[in-house]
């Protein structure tokens, strides 16, 4: 059912209907969907933390500075939590340990 609905998107966009692809994912992951379907559309990434128009100009952006991210990572690692941290940029997925089973599981689902 969902696949059939996805196939309707290019037809809808080519008929003049505006379309925005929204996801919690980072833009590079969303771009895979856009390129697979030959779409030209705006995107909302990071659950609204980044909004790009169809030319990929930034309309809105709210995120961490590198300094803030480093502080969070330092705190996490000092607490010895049972987790692996991940960072996303517009084009990269950065993980502490690429061999962590949780990372491998997530990556296998991409």
User: Crossing angle of helices 27-37/2-14, nearest 10°?
Assistant: 80
Same domain, 33 and 82: no
Half-sphere exposure of 68 (CA within 13 A, CB side): 4
Residue showing tokens 């037809």: 11
Query: pLDDT over 90 for what percent of the chain?
Result: 30
Same domain, 53 and 72: no
Structurally, how many domains does the chain consist of?
A: 2
pLDDT at residue 12 in the model: 65
Instruction: Check pLDDT > 70 for residue 26.
Output: yes
pLDDT tens by residue, 35-54: 888 888 899 999 999 999 99
Domain that holds residue 73: 66-108
C-alpha span between 24 and 51 (Å, rounded): 11
C-alpha span between 46 and 72 (Å, rounded): 18
Same domain, 11 and 47: yes
* Averaged pLDDT, 59-87: 90
Q: What angle do CA 28, 42, 30 make, to 5 degrees?
A: 25
Same domain, 54 and 28: yes
Enumerate the H helices of 1-110 as residue ranges: 2-14, 27-37, 66-79, 101-108
pLDDT at residue 109 in the model: 61
pLDDT at residue 64 in the model: 86
Instruction: Check pLDDT > 50 for residue 1.
Output: no
Same domain, 54 and 84: no
Same domain, 14 and 57: yes
Same domain, 56 and 70: no
> Hey, CA dihedral for 48, 53, 55, 58, is it positive or negative?
negative
């Amino acid at each position: 059912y969902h696949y059939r609905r996805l196939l309707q998107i290019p037809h809808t966009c080519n008929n003049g209907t505006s379309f925005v692809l929204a996801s919690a994912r980072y833009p590079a992951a969303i771009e895979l969907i856009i390129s697979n379907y030959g779409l030209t559309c705006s995107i909302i990434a990071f659950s609204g933390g980044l909004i790009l128009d169809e030319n990929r100009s930034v309309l809105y952006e709210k995120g961490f500075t590198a300094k803030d991210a480093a502080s969070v990572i330092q705190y996490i690692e000092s607490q010895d939590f049972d987790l692996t941290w991940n960072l996303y940029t517009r084009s990269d997925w950065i993980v502490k340990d690429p061999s962590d089973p949780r990372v491998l599981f997530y990556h296998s689902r991409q």
